[in-house]
Amino acid sequence: MSLFFKTFQLFIIATITNFFICKILKIPFFPSIDKDFTQKRINLIINILIMCILPDIFRYMNIIRFSTLPEHLPTKISLYILSFDAIYALVHFSQHKWFEWTHKEHHDSTLYPGYAFVYSPIDSLCLQICMYSPFYFGLHFTQYTWYLAMFLIIFSGFMGHSHRGWVDTHLKHHQRPHEGRYSFTGIPEHILSMLK
Ligand SMILES: [Zn+2]
Ligand SMILES: [Zn+2]
């Protein structure tokens, strides 16, 4: 199966799961009124296309190479998420240095799970390139591990934009954008605070 459809499938499953979790927790998924809603939907479609096209390009370029060897799933998923988030935190930090051109649109969006993946195409490309950063280190994962790790990253992306803040790091980042907390999942900041 093409990775385009695999990625699209996991994005849709993550969206539907989050939508129903938000319904159960009575968290609004979208704001009731937004005059820029059409523009945001267009950007969301562009971002989903970037998200789904990139894995096949990376596989064609031999950047993504799936292993077929048995692996310890929790360890490899943790390794994937942590190595992704370490790179993402650095890229996100640099985006705040070129804020107007790369990242302003995301911070201008009000904080709702349905807007988690609304940002400019440049921002989208930065995030999606980071999504595959574990492969740049020569790490190998089975396709199943990659799929689950991607699902968890996308899932925490949605939940990180909810006011209930299950991982509240990104919520705090949106409240005070230039004060830090640049990771995607909040896990690196939690590890650093535990080490202090
Ligand atoms: Zn955000
Ligand atoms: Zn930011």
Which tokens go with 9?
Answer: 């499938």
Does residue 166 surpass a pLDDT of 60? no
The 10s digit of each residue's pLDDT in 81-104 is 988 988 998 999 988 888 777 788
Q: What is the pLDDT of residue 20?
A: 92
Does residue 168 surpass a pLDDT of 80? no
Cα of 182 from ligand 2 centre, angstroms: 6
Cα of 107 from ligand 1 centre, angstroms: 7
CA distances from 125 to 46, 49, 55, 103, 184 (A): 10, 10, 12, 11, 15
Which tokens go with 47?
Answer: 């971002």
Among 43-47, 59-63, 70-74, 176-180, which is the least confidently predicted range?
176-180
Closest listed ligand to the CA of 103: 2
Cα of 101 from ligand 1 centre, angstroms: 16
The 10s digit of each residue's pLDDT in 51-71 is 999 999 998 998 888 888 888
Q: What is the pLDDT of residue 165?
A: 56
The β-bridge partners of 141 are 66
Residues near 144 by beta carbon (within 8 Å), at least 6 away in sequence: 73
CA 108/CA 175 separation, integer angstroms: 11
Cα of 17 from ligand 2 centre, angstroms: 25
Cα of 146 from ligand 1 centre, angstroms: 22
Q: What is the pLDDT of residue 148?
A: 93
Do residues 67 and 135 make contact, with C-beta atoms less than 8 angstroms apart?
no
Does residue 8 surpass a pLDDT of 90? yes
Higher-confidence position of 54 and 165: 54
Closest listed ligand to the CA of 110: 1
Cα of 122 from ligand 1 centre, angstroms: 14
Q: How confident is the model at residue 121 (pLDDT cuts 50, 70, 90)?
A: confident
Cα of 160 from ligand 2 centre, angstroms: 12
CA distances from 87 to 23, 29, 41, 133, 148 (A): 33, 28, 28, 7, 19
Closest listed ligand to the CA of 104: 2
Do residues 112 and 28 make contact, with C-beta atoms less than 8 angstroms apart?
yes
pTM value > 0.75: yes
CA distances from 156 to 99, 100, 153 (A): 23, 25, 5
User: Which of 150, 164, 81, 159 is CA-nearest to residue 115?
Assistant: 159
CA distances from 40 to 30, 34, 37 (A): 11, 9, 5
Q: How confident is the model at residue 167 (pLDDT cuts 50, 70, 90)?
A: low
Does residue 145 surpass a pLDDT of 90? yes
- Alpha helices per DSSP H over 26-120: 37-60, 73-95, 99-102, 104-108
Cα of 2 from ligand 2 centre, angstroms: 31
Average pLDDT over residues 121-140: 87
